[in-house]
Copies of this chain bind each other. A is one copy, B any other.
Amino acid sequence: MKQIILAAALALTFPSSALADAPKGLAWDIVEWLTTEIGPRHGGTEAEARARVWAVAKLKALGFANVRIEEFDMPVWVRGEERGSIIAPFPHRFALTALGNSGATPATGLKAEVIAFTTYDAFKDAPDAMVKGKIVYVSHAMHRTMDGSSYGIYGVLRRQGPSLAAKKGAAAILIRSIGTSEHRTPHTGNTGWEAGVSPIPAAALSNPDAKHLETVMARAKGKPVTIDLTLTPKFTGSQKSGNVIAEVPGTDAAAGLVVIGGHLDSWDLGTGAIDDASGVAITTEAAKRLLDTGKKPRRTVRLVWWGAEEVGIFGGNAYFEAHKAEPHALAAESDFGADRVWRLDVRLPDAARPLAERLGKALSPLGITLSKELAGGGADVGQLVGSGVPAIDLQQDGTRYFDLHHTAEDTLDKIDPALLAQNVEAWSIMVNMVANAPEDLMAGQRK
């Protein structure tokens, strides 16, 4: 009978996650909430809006000041059906996914021969006649890097390849996923179209499917390889998105704002756990700990849950336009998963060098070392930092980040609560020290 009771009282029998015994706190709660009760939060959609409403209630309940949504308008692209197969000489059904902003095929699909390139450079150098009317496939050799640097290098294929294929007259483009997953879960991500270029269908094959196509090309021994591709994404016009903002008020407005946060939106394939519910959650718990000291910091800490980052950094750009006239002492975003922080990068005026040294010492017990790299700040604060605002990066270990990035695998079960807690600890130390630093952090901005 005991087992029957267990089954009936189910809420008691399932812990709220599979890792119930690991340390958990506010950050975990936020990640679990966003991934479980909201799920995917594609920029400009109803789900993202629902998350904003909840966020405001949650941040008010936590005691933050000036909690509000700052809305903006943005064009919205939504995924449709997506499937593709090799139809000759050796049939195979691909695991693939459309890139953000991809054009559509006819609803009945598009059949064409493949022309394949081993590198983006080889594709760039190919004459248009070789590509015209074909489905272009481009491979690459992206591998894991702890600092994520391979993403910038190989990602050019996703960011620029489709536009180039369109200009060369290709019927469509398939790329090997920009990611390191060895699984049949393709990596999506945005592409862009140069002015005047008409979008063509553009999709990423999972890495195993990319390897499969390459083996088929080799075994076809020069026979044409043909593909049938169906992608039916569309633009649904201009929609509302928004940034959610909350503050820990400071005592010295002239010392400038400390802006921290992550992005609330996610890609649509997974539930946006590592990208970027974790960043939102880490920075929120860090700000909450500052609030809970009960002592106002010198600088106001402004927490932002940016909207619509994945699909074009719309939230970051809207924030910049709305707030660029305010004095900003620091910008820092958490947007690289939930694995451990291993490195501290800073971009501070010379006068604030002592702050960097103090941060390095304070973070050292967590396994974090001060580097010579210049901090970038993160996508949503890119314009702020570009305009001269100091930045700090708490660099996370990215070794497995691109196994999950922009795939259906970006789900709660991939987050290790102990590593999430290390992030919170590091951010708490950093935010507290920066908010209270006696140095003039804006020295570099005053010409």
Q: How far is the CB of A140 from chain B (nearest CB, A)?
A: 13
A residues within 8 Å of B by Cβ?
1, 3-4, 6-8, 10-11, 13-18, 32, 36-39, 89-92, 95, 115-119, 121-123, 125-127, 130, 139, 182-185, 207-208, 211-212, 214-222, 271, 408-409, 411-414
Write out the residue numbers on chain B whose beta carbons fall within 8 Å of the beta carbon of A185: 183-185
Contact of A214 among B14, B182, B218 (CB under 8 A): B14
| A8→B184 contact, CB < 8 A | no
Please report the C-alpha to C-alpha distance between residue A184 and residue B122 in the assembled complex, in whole angstroms: 34
Q: How far is the CA of A13 from the CA of B139 in the complex (A)?
A: 11
Q: Give bound CA distance, A123 to B4, whole Å.
A: 8
Which of B17, B183, B218 meets A409, CB within 8 Å? B183
Q: Which residue of B lies closest to A184 (CB)?
A: B408
Report the 6 A-B pairs with minimum CB-CB distance, sorted nearest first. Answer: A3-B122, A14-B214, A14-B218, A16-B218, A37-B90, A184-B408
The answer to whether B412 and A4 have CB atoms under 8 Å apart is no
> Which of B7, B11, B212 is in CB contact (< 8 Å) with A411?
B212
Q: How far is the CB of A93 from chain B (nearest CB, A)?
A: 8
In the bound complex, residues from chain B placing their C-beta under 8 Å from that of A271 are 92, 212
Residues of B within 8 A of A216 (CB): 36
Give the residues in chain B near A13, CB-CB below 8 Å.
118
User: Chain B nearest CB: distance from A414 CB in Å?
Assistant: 8
19 contacts between A and B (CB under 8 A): A3-B126, A4-B122, A4-B130, A7-B118, A10-B116, A11-B217, A13-B118, A14-B214, A17-B215, A18-B211, A36-B212, A36-B216, A39-B92, A182-B413, A183-B185, A184-B411, A207-B413, A208-B411, A212-B412
| Cβ contact within 8 Å between B411 and A122 | no
Q: How far is the CB of A14 from chain B (nearest CB, A)?
A: 4
State A17–B216 Cα separation when bound (angstroms): 10
Which of A208, A211, A220 lies at the interface centre, i.e. has the most chain B CB atoms within 10 A of its CB? A208
Assembly CA distance A117 to B95 (angstroms)? 32
Q: A182-B413, A208-B411, A411-B184 are in contact. Are A6 and B122 (CB under 8 A)?
A: yes
Q: How far is the CB of A284 from chain B (nearest CB, A)?
A: 19
Please name all residues of chain B whose beta carbon is closer than 8 Å to the beta carbon of A412 when the two chains form the complex. 211-212, 215
Nearest neighbor of A33 in chain B, beta-carbon distance: B219
Q: Is the CB of A3 within 8 A of B125?
A: yes
Check B90–A36 contact: CB distance below 8 A: yes
Q: Which residues of B contact A91 (CB under 8 A)?
A: 39
